[in-house]
């Protein structure tokens, strides 16, 4: 971002009170969320996020985070949906579209995650866009959510099959992103993931990876949206 845009972003940054007021305004739309199990950040956490801190938490297999990005909601949305180009930004080392259309709802994506000291993991993410929420809000509130599959018959490419043979499938994963446009240039985001990586991963490692993974994922998505030139539509 060029210097004058950085200055403008700092001058136009929403205050914690403005972020909270905007969230109160769209509160009724939360009823349209598909990821019902996502934790709700506290007012204190939201205030911290509005001041530039990525706030995260872990409770067993559930991990969550909240942040405010100096990005338009459409640009962040484009980055989140461009997961085949996330390797190099996120911890996922390989990501391949298996079926459905890139950037569209109900697509299936093979993903491979190297893990330290234990067997690597693979899964198929089934990604959905909450079109009812986007339509009701005029695209100012959006949700991207996913469920996992580990059906090996869905994996047909030689590259993905090779990685699958070198790793273990996870047991399950689900989660989502909930986005609210605070202004034309800033976006509030809640991230949530509930994963069971399977046997062989000690609970201590799982919790540590989950906490770090939330913060790293949020930072990676901000960087990718700003620098990675996402090709997905912004709407």
Q: Given this model, what pLDDT does residue 39 score? A: 92
Confidence grade of residue 118 (pLDDT, cut at 50, 70, 90): confident
Strand 121-129 with 168-169, pairing:
parallel
Domains and their CATH numbers in the chain:
13-227 (3.30.530.20)
Rg of the chain, C-alpha, whole Å: 18
Contact present, 175 and 35 (Cβ < 8 Å): yes
What is the per-residue DSSP string for 202-223? Answer: -HHHHHHHHHHHHHHHHHHHHH
Mean pLDDT of the chain: 91
Confidence grade of residue 13 (pLDDT, cut at 50, 70, 90): confident
Please compute, for residue 109, the number of CA atoms within 13 A of its CA located in the half-sphere on the CB side: 29
Q: Where are the alpha helices (DSSP H) in the chain?
A: 3-12, 16-26, 43-50, 73-80, 131-137, 158-165, 203-227
The whole-model pTM stands at 0.92
Higher-scoring residue by pLDDT: 228, 209 = 228
Nearest in space to 93 (alpha carbons), one of 79, 110, 77, 76? 110
Q: Given this model, what pLDDT does residue 6 score? A: 43
Query: What share of the chain in percent tops pLDDT 90?
Result: 80
């Amino acid at each position: 971002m060029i210097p004058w845009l950085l200055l403008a972003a700092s001058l136009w940054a929403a205050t914690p009170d403005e972020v909270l007021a905007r969230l109160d305004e769209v509160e009724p739309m939360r009823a349209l969320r598909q990821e019902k199990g996502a934790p709700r950040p506290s007012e204190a956490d939201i205030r911290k996020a509005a001041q530039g801190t990525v706030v995260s938490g872990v409770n067993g297999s559930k991990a969550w985070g909240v942040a405010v990005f100096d990005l338009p909601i459409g640009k962040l949305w484009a980055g989140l949906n461009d997961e085949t180009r996330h390797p190099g930004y996120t911890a996922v080392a390989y990501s391949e579209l298996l079926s459905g259309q890139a950037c569209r709802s109900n697509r299936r994506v093979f993903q491979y995650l190297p893990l330290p000291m234990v067997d690597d993991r693979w899964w198929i993410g089934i990604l959905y866009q909450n079109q009812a929420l986007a339509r009701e809000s005029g695209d100012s509130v959006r949700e991207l959510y996913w469920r996992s599959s580990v059906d090996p018959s869905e994996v047909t490419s030689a590259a993905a099959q090779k990685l699958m043979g070198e790793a273990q499938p996870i047991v399950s994963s689900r989660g989502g992103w909930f986005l609210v446009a605070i202004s034309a240039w800033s976006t509030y985001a809640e991230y949530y993931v509930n994963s069971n990586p399977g046997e062989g991963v000690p609970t201590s490692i799982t919790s540590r990876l989950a906490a770090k993974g939330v913060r790293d994922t949020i930072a990676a998505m901000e960087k990718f949206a700003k620098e990675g030139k996402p090709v997905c539509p912004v709407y």
